[in-house]
Amino acid sequence: MASYPEANSEYRLRLYLAITLTVFSLAHPSQAGITSHFDAEHQTWAYSNGLIEARFELNPAGLFRFVGLRTRAGAEWRSAFPGNSSPICFRLGGKDRWDESRTFRLVSHGLRRPGADSARLSIVLDDLRRTGQVTLEFDLYEGHPVLRYGVRYRNLTESPTYVTRAAPVSWELSDGGERYRAMRVEQWMPVEDPADFDAIVTTLAEDATPVSVDTGAHGRYCTWLALADRQSRGLAWGWEFDGRATVTAAQNAEWARLSLQSHIPDLFHQVAPNAEFQVPRAFVAAFQGDWDAAAHATQRFVERALAKPAPPARNGKAFPYAAWDSWAYGQDIDEAKLRRNAEAAARMGIELFIVDLGWARMLGDWREDPKKFPSGLRALSDYVHGLGMQFGVHFAFGEAMAEAPVFQSPSHQDWTSSVNYGYYGARSLCLAHDPVRRWIVEQAVRIIDEYNVDWILQDGENMVRECRKDTHTHHPGDSNYAGAVDGLGWILREIQSRRPHVAWENCENGGNLMTFQMVQNYVTSIVNDASGARDARKATSGATFPFPARYADRYMPEDRMIPYVTRSYLFGGPWIFMNQLTQFSREDFEFASAEVARFKDIRGLVTAGKILHLTEPAAAGRTDAIAAWDSATETGVAVVTRDNTPHGDTFWLRIPEADAERSYRIRFAEAPGTFTYGGQQLRTQGVPVKLPGEWYSEVVYIDGIK
Ligand SMILES: [Zn+2]
């Protein structure tokens, strides 16, 4: 208990309670709070917030193992066989396994309360030979049926050790005689076999054939995997790692076993004597219901526990912002053009003005191009601020042209990663190499200060690089973990701690790096670059299973301001215009301005509500609909879009969350009139939404009547 002095008395009280209360009940969650009951005789922990209870034990043989997980809704997951499931799962060197088969002794444990509604249970174990120490951390938040966990290893020997395997997800569950479906969601990969936020549901084979998700930078999938049984009881796992990781789910029905396993490739991480290694953290969310329920449980937790807080509302500007980005001009930008667009943007109601790629002298020379900006970029920033907007710049900090001054110093020649990713002809820097990351931090801080930057659009090609160099400060076999944690992660943490007021947008490869580490560093992420209206809807639909809606921002390259176009970008995080605003007709300008006002009107509901995926995602020949629903206020908003769909003048909008006992007032962006419908009709038959023609989109506002 030495590490948690304040928790001592509370802990003793809880210990006393645990001994006196032999039966633990989840029957009264509102009164339960977060409790950790330790049975000293059997060395078992029952850790609960009333919605989810996790049980672990350190058995008489010294094996630390997962016992069971159960929810208030009555679902229960148990270890497949006693002793074969442990959150501890890593390896040192070739075969020194630290897992369910290793023996430990208990050093200390305790419950700490970082906030009024959250707790962290820490359990510290030494292996019996005292070569290393393992610290397990389990986090619970009141009102969330989610267990977050992490495992840390400390090297207690006199010489360095090397972590060669680490599994953030490692669960061996009994399959309960059930069958399971798995959902995974792609990120964006514009390659030969493209990935574009398809949400893929697969029934798990019973013969242990795994469903596999390959995630992280340059991976195919988001770091999320949800499983549901035939009774719609489910668990969703998320892992907090930007590097490559593979997670598999497999059922072996013959052995009644459901296995979740994971693997981090290219891991060879040195741990100096008395230093620590953190296995990437992960969480498991319990849900009951459809995939929207899985998404909602995940997203609420992400917003509560993980996500970078959204920028605070200032002068009527609330997040997510209506934004403008200069990519309408490609790199052909200059201060005169940008000033004219800034004036138009401000009149249109835009709140954030972003200067995309092309402002600097070259990639890697992060000073403004004096030919494009004779008055300096700061003058433009001041002008933009004077118009009441925030100022953002593109920054691809991991890229530098061969001619960039940074390479002129002979000792910097070796700063590149051994694999080059060729972002706009640049050389890729190795972010895990210590002098590189320090140089990047200095550049970032200078850019932020000199140009008075509020927002960084951070771009780059594969931000977790492969690098086999033995001349760098990372181990040549460790570039995946080192690149993610000591490279990208360290750089962002360092810059953000020095300049905390700046908000960051993730744009790796235009929609890659969709991870639960990313949400901790960025306030939003692009989903599928400027792929057009239909794809923007498709990506938003897919991304809003694992991620809160604010992590689906959309670049709008179309110049035709019609409802089909603007509504395709209306729903999600920041809406980013990528148009030459000075070329807009007066009519287009006025329509766009009204749509910006509409976006501001619904953004609070969209980002706080439960996302309802009411149809399959957008596709040619289809009508698609997505909604956000706030059950506290009984209000909702839906965007219904008819693509090049020959039939379908009427779409029946059903809201399964509506209260059958209530009435709702319904109005539309296009169709006139206000209508009252009973909740029962809204839930079952639905309400008619008129879509008179192809390439059409309607917004539906739903307000519960008190
Ligand atoms: Zn390197």
Report the separation in Å between the CA atom of 498 and the middle of ligand 1, taken as the mean of its atom positions. 25
Domain boundary among 250, 271, 304: 304
Report the separation in Å between the CA atom of 491 and the middle of ligand 1, taken as the mean of its atom positions. 15
pLDDT at 348 over 70: yes
CATH number of the CATH domain containing 700: 2.60.40.1180
Q: Is residue 684 part of a domain?
A: yes
Residue 375 and residue 294 share a domain: no
Residue 102 and residue 212 share a domain: yes
**For residues 135 and 344, what is the distance between their CA atoms, to the nearest angstrom?**
55
**For residues 186 and 244, what is the distance between their CA atoms, to the nearest angstrom?**
14
**For residues 53 and 145, what is the distance between their CA atoms, to the nearest angstrom?**
9
Residue 275 and residue 369 share a domain: no
Banded pLDDT at 32 (limits 50, 70, 90) = low
Report the separation in Å between the CA atom of 362 and the middle of ligand 1, taken as the mean of its atom positions. 23
Report the separation in Å between the CA atom of 151 and the middle of ligand 1, taken as the mean of its atom positions. 26
Structure tokens at 63: 């094996």
**For residues 313 and 297, what is the distance between their CA atoms, to the nearest angstrom?**
25
Report the separation in Å between the CA atom of 472 and the middle of ligand 1, taken as the mean of its atom positions. 5
Report the separation in Å between the CA atom of 28 and the middle of ligand 1, taken as the mean of its atom positions. 54
Report the separation in Å between the CA atom of 407 and the middle of ligand 1, taken as the mean of its atom positions. 15
Report the separation in Å between the CA atom of 443 and the middle of ligand 1, taken as the mean of its atom positions. 19
Q: Is residue 698 part of a domain?
A: yes
Q: Is residue 68 part of a domain?
A: yes
Q: Is residue 161 part of a domain?
A: yes
Gyration radius of the chain over CA positions: 26
Report the separation in Å between the CA atom of 165 and the middle of ligand 1, taken as the mean of its atom positions. 20
Report the separation in Å between the CA atom of 527 and the middle of ligand 1, taken as the mean of its atom positions. 28
pLDDT at 16: 36
Give me the mean pLDDT over the 620-644 stretch.
97
Residue 259 and residue 330 share a domain: no
Report the separation in Å between the CA atom of 482 and the middle of ligand 1, taken as the mean of its atom positions. 9
Residue 489 and residue 617 share a domain: no
pLDDT at 316: 81
Report the separation in Å between the CA atom of 225 and the middle of ligand 1, taken as the mean of its atom positions. 31
Report the separation in Å between the CA atom of 470 and the middle of ligand 1, taken as the mean of its atom positions. 8
Structure tokens at 179: 């069958």
Report the separation in Å between the CA atom of 150 and the middle of ligand 1, taken as the mean of its atom positions. 27
Q: For residue 638, what are the CA distances in angstroms to 102, 685, 702?
A: 53, 16, 8
pLDDT at 191: 86
pLDDT at 565 over 50: yes
Report the separation in Å between the CA atom of 469 and the middle of ligand 1, taken as the mean of its atom positions. 5
**Helical residues (DSSP H) of 244-315, grouped into ranges:** 291-301
SS3 312: coil
Give the model confidence (pLDDT) of 4-27 as tens digits.
333 333 333 333 333 333 333 444
**For residues 127 and 134, what is the distance between their CA atoms, to the nearest angstrom?**
8
Domain boundary among 470, 503, 525: 525
**For residues 82 and 501, what is the distance between their CA atoms, to the nearest angstrom?**
49
**For residues 58 and 44, what is the distance between their CA atoms, to the nearest angstrom?**
6
Structure-token match 């709070």, residue found: 33
pLDDT at 11: 38
Task: Work out the percent of the chain whose per-residue pLDDT is above 70.
Answer: 95
Residue 246 and residue 105 share a domain: yes
Would you say 173 and 250 are in contact if contact means Cβ atoms under 8 Å apart?
no
SS3 600: helix
Would you say 64 and 88 are in contact if contact means Cβ atoms under 8 Å apart?
yes
SS3 412: helix
**Helical residues (DSSP H) of 41-185, grouped into ranges:** none
Report the separation in Å between the CA atom of 363 and the middle of ligand 1, taken as the mean of its atom positions. 19
Report the separation in Å between the CA atom of 148 and the middle of ligand 1, taken as the mean of its atom positions. 31
Structure-token match 């939404």, residue found: 689
Report the separation in Å between the CA atom of 431 and the middle of ligand 1, taken as the mean of its atom positions. 7
Would you say 284 and 237 are in contact if contact means Cβ atoms under 8 Å apart?
yes
Maximal CA-CA distance, the chain: 78
Structure tokens at 487: 């490279």
SS3 575: strand
Nearest C-alpha neighbor of 353 from the set 372, 374, 328: 328
Q: Is residue 234 part of a domain?
A: yes
Domain boundary among 525, 540, 572: 525
CATH number of the CATH domain containing 66: 2.70.98.60
Domain of 503, in residue numbers = 322-525
Beta bridge partners, 195, equal 189
Would you say 184 and 294 are in contact if contact means Cβ atoms under 8 Å apart?
no
Give me the mean pLDDT over the 167-172 stretch.
97
Report the separation in Å between the CA atom of 197 and the middle of ligand 1, taken as the mean of its atom positions. 31
pLDDT at 358 over 50: yes
Residue 112 and residue 75 share a domain: yes
Report the separation in Å between the CA atom of 161 and the middle of ligand 1, taken as the mean of its atom positions. 20
Report the separation in Å between the CA atom of 272 and the middle of ligand 1, taken as the mean of its atom positions. 19
Task: Work out the percent of the chain whose per-residue pLDDT is above 90.
Answer: 91
Report the separation in Å between the CA atom of 433 and the middle of ligand 1, taken as the mean of its atom positions. 5
Would you say 323 and 345 are in contact if contact means Cβ atoms under 8 Å apart?
no
Nearest C-alpha neighbor of 431 from the set 358, 369, 495, 356: 495
Residue 32 and residue 106 share a domain: yes
Structure tokens at 399: 């890229």
Give me the mean pLDDT over the 235-242 stretch.
98
SS3 365: strand
Structure-token match 């514009």, residue found: 190
Answer positive or negative: Cα dihedral of 588, 589, 595, 599: positive
Structure tokens at 371: 């030919």
Beta bridge partners, 666, equal 675, 702
Structure-token match 């980002």, residue found: 607
Report the separation in Å between the CA atom of 395 and the middle of ligand 1, taken as the mean of its atom positions. 21
**For residues 613 and 541, what is the distance between their CA atoms, to the nearest angstrom?**
7
Report the separation in Å between the CA atom of 364 and the middle of ligand 1, taken as the mean of its atom positions. 17
Residues 6 or more apart from 415 whose CB is under 8 A from it? 400, 406, 407, 429, 430, 433, 435, 436, 439
Report the separation in Å between the CA atom of 439 and the middle of ligand 1, taken as the mean of its atom positions. 14
Would you say 584 and 344 are in contact if contact means Cβ atoms under 8 Å apart?
yes
Report the separation in Å between the CA atom of 639 and the middle of ligand 1, taken as the mean of its atom positions. 46
Report the separation in Å between the CA atom of 276 and the middle of ligand 1, taken as the mean of its atom positions. 21
Report the separation in Å between the CA atom of 471 and the middle of ligand 1, taken as the mean of its atom positions. 8
Beta strand 503-508 pairing with 455-460: parallel
Helix axes 377-386, 335-348, angle to 10 degrees: 20
Report the separation in Å between the CA atom of 479 and the middle of ligand 1, taken as the mean of its atom positions. 7
Report the separation in Å between the CA atom of 475 and the middle of ligand 1, taken as the mean of its atom positions. 8
* Preceding amide of 546 cis, omega within 30: no
Question: Other C-beta atoms within 10 Å of 402: how many?
Answer: 12
**For residues 544 and 199, what is the distance between their CA atoms, to the nearest angstrom?**
10
SS3 191: coil
Q: Is residue 507 part of a domain?
A: yes
Residue 328 and residue 299 share a domain: no
pLDDT at 402 over 80: yes
Helix axes 586-608, 335-348, angle to 10 degrees: 70
Question: Other C-beta atoms within 10 Å of 163: how many?
Answer: 24
Report the separation in Å between the CA atom of 487 and the middle of ligand 1, taken as the mean of its atom positions. 10
Q: Is residue 685 part of a domain?
A: yes
Give the model confidence (pLDDT) of 481-494 as tens digits.
999 999 999 999 99
pLDDT greater at residue 365 or residue 192:
365
Report the separation in Å between the CA atom of 486 and the middle of ligand 1, taken as the mean of its atom positions. 11
Report the separation in Å between the CA atom of 393 and the middle of ligand 1, taken as the mean of its atom positions. 27
Report the separation in Å between the CA atom of 398 and the middle of ligand 1, taken as the mean of its atom positions. 12
pLDDT at 510: 85
Q: Give 405's DSSP letter.
A: G
Report the separation in Å between the CA atom of 520 and the middle of ligand 1, taken as the mean of its atom positions. 24
Residue 300 and residue 265 share a domain: yes
Report the separation in Å between the CA atom of 32 and the middle of ligand 1, taken as the mean of its atom positions. 50
- Summary mean pLDDT of the chain: 94
Q: Is residue 649 part of a domain?
A: yes
pTM value is 0.94
Residue 482 and residue 360 share a domain: yes
Residue 217 and residue 105 share a domain: yes
**For residues 370 and 382, what is the distance between their CA atoms, to the nearest angstrom?**
17
pLDDT at 362 over 50: yes
SS3 182: strand
Total domain count for the chain?
Answer: 3
Report the separation in Å between the CA atom of 474 and the middle of ligand 1, taken as the mean of its atom positions. 6
